[in-house]
Chains A and B, each alone.
Chain A
Amino acid sequence: MTARLITVAGPPSAGKTAVVRQILKNLIPEFKVAYLKIDVVQAWEDEELAEEFHIPTKKVYSGDMCPDHTGILVLQDAVEWANSVDADYLIYESAGLCLRCTPYTTHSFGLCVVPAVSGMHTPLKMAPMITFADAVIVTKIDLVSQAEKEVFREAIRQVSSETDIIETDALAGTNMRYLMKRIFELSETRNDADQLRGSPPLGVCTVCIGKKDVGWQNHFGVIRPLDAPDTLFRGE
């Protein structure tokens, strides 16, 4: 028995947890669900959901590390944990910060949550997160006019002409039946090695790995002297 993995991504305050609550309302009590939250400094969702739905939850603070990077490192363990508590589904909610990466893996069902009150250019700015998703959940539709909602949908369509778009007032659960239909149809997570769907950023940065010395002579990988016409690669 392998838990089906649902990855929930999206910018802060997009309504990710509200969407998760709706999913939980629809899955429980028929199914057993485990929940993992990865955030940077503070998060309470795991405690709230554990109390509200009586489900096993976990939280990981990524601290100095990129939260999506942390996700990649711990996800395998998380699936094993979900299996060990006999969960039918594991919901992994990411912090969703820089919008460069996508936390979706090939084996997971990837949800991108984006509020209808975002600017019209937001879908372009978070293009990877939208194009690699299985479904884009547009939240807070009760806060915008119908015309604006339709124009926002068109803005998403400019980034991805195919991805399923589900518009919802996640607090009320409007249109969540379309999301649940897909979640109920998910097949069991495969056992072979899972991989990220998107390409992670280039691993270029020795500063990011803690080398503080000034001067390209002290670094390796992709480097750049002041007068060089382009970047150079220097092996370790």
Chain B
Amino acid sequence: MTSSNSILSITVLPGKSKNGTAENFSEIILSPGDVLSIVGATGSGKTAFINDIEVLAQGDTVTGRIILVNGQNPPDDFIRDPSKKPIAMITQNTKCLADLTVHEFLEMHLRSRKISDISLLEKTIQTANKFTGEKIAAGMRICSLSGGQTRSLFIADAVIISNTPIILLDELENAGIFKEKVIEELRQLRKTTIFVTHDPYVALLTDRRIVMENGTVKCILEPGDLEKDVLFRISEIDKELSAMRERIRGGELLFENKGGTSV
């Protein structure tokens, strides 16, 4: 029997552009532990790409792409039974409409995934609180959480409750959460991860970059070590920006030193 634990690979077969022309790649294969990013202008089809993977599209989405699991058409219960689904996606949506408390929401999600270990509920909230500045409590109403809290909770939910081998993250850098802690968590768990991103640091951290244009894949880059020096420089810039951000959030005034580098 195929279960979500025995996922070996995901194959993306080409679809068509917004004006109907075929996409210019033969297939994109994601193997376990692969970390990819998807970049491109807004409206270029980045979200549609990961959405195709999430719904395991069979030519029935706007892009016309087909997704294979282990080289074959996915079994129906991967698509239709949440407890069998090997993919978790965190959308850009930072609003949850559910009229439930955090506790009730996670409890129902555990049930939909047929998980009886109730301790995962507390663990999910703890993990979410690593990513967000203002803490989430179990009794809070989920629709009253901030954008960043909602995003943090959904990421923790994907990692702990869904616990799927494949995780898709749409613009992680938005909503002001601690992105480096999320990336670290995912790396530790060796998840196959796709980041849709506008953030140079996140993009350069990944092994493969898919570049989108006009609804289609424009090219696929595997920079290897070529960008090593730039990655180091971006990580330094990013650290500096993060430090500034936290000081601004803390209510400080920032001044330029004579040397011109630190704050």
Residues of B within 8 A of A173 (CB): 60-61
A54 within 8 A of B: no
B88 within 8 A of A: yes
Residues of B within 8 A of A197 (CB): none
Contacting B111 at CB < 8 Å: which of A143, A154, A167, A175?
A154
Q: Which of A2-10, A35-43, A67-75, A117-125 contacts B (4 or more CB under 8 A)?
A: A117-125
Query: B204-236: which residues lie under 8 A (CB-CB) from chain A?
Result: none
How far apart sit A119 and B89, CA to CA, in the bound complex (Å)?
21
How far apart sit A155 and B99, CA to CA, in the bound complex (Å)?
12
Interface size of A as a range:
20 to 34
Q: Do residues B113 and A150 form an inter-chain contact, with CB atoms below 8 A?
A: yes
How far apart sit A174 and B51, CA to CA, in the bound complex (Å)?
11
Q: Do residues A150 and B112 form an inter-chain contact, with CB atoms below 8 A?
A: yes
Q: Which of B90-98, B172-180, B195-203 contacts A (4 or more CB under 8 A)?
A: B90-98
How far apart sit A167 and B80, CA to CA, in the bound complex (Å)?
8
Contacting A178 at CB < 8 Å: which of B80, B97, B158?
B80
Q: What residue of chain A has the Cβ atom nearest to residue B143's Cβ?
A: A119
Most chain B beta-carbon neighbours within 10 Å: one of A120, A121, A176, A177: A120
| Interface flags, B144-174, vs A, CB<8A=1, else 0 | 0000000000100110011000000000000
A157 to chain B, nearest CB (A): 7
Residues of B within 8 A of A165 (CB): 80
Q: Do residues B93 and A174 form an inter-chain contact, with CB atoms below 8 A?
A: no
Given the interface contacts A119-B99, A147-B157, A151-B108, does A175 sit within 8 Å of B93 by beta carbon? no
Residues of B within 8 A of A134 (CB): none
Residues of B within 8 A of A145 (CB): 89-91, 93, 96, 154
Q: Do residues A143 and B93 form an inter-chain contact, with CB atoms below 8 A?
A: yes
How far apart sit A151 and B112, CA to CA, in the bound complex (Å)?
7
Q: Taking beta carbons and an 8 Å cutoff, which residues of A are in contact with B?
A: 117, 119-121, 142-148, 150-155, 157, 165-167, 169, 172-178
How far apart sit A143 and B93, CA to CA, in the bound complex (Å)?
8
Residues of A within 8 A of B97 (CB): 117, 119, 144, 148
Contacting A142 at CB < 8 Å: which of B51, B82, B90, B154?
B51
How far apart sit A148 and B96, CA to CA, in the bound complex (Å)?
7
Q: Do residues B60 and A147 form an inter-chain contact, with CB atoms below 8 A?
A: no
How far apart sit A120 and B76, CA to CA, in the bound complex (Å)?
25
Given the interface contacts A120-B99, A121-B99, does A147 sit within 8 Å of B154 by beta carbon? yes
How far apart sit A167 and B113, CA to CA, in the bound complex (Å)?
16
How far apart sit A154 and B98, CA to CA, in the bound complex (Å)?
12
Q: A119-B98, A145-B90 are in contact. List 6 more A-B contacts (CB 8 A).
A: A147-B88, A147-B105, A151-B98, A151-B108, A167-B80, A172-B60
Q: Do residues A174 and B82 form an inter-chain contact, with CB atoms below 8 A?
A: no
B174 to chain A, nearest CB (A): 14
Residues of A within 8 A of B89 (CB): 145-146
How far apart sit A174 and B61, CA to CA, in the bound complex (Å)?
5
How far apart sit A142 and B188, CA to CA, in the bound complex (Å)?
30
Query: B11-68: which residues lie under 8 A (CB-CB) from chain A?
Result: 51, 54-55, 57-58, 60-62
Residues of A within 8 A of B62 (CB): 172
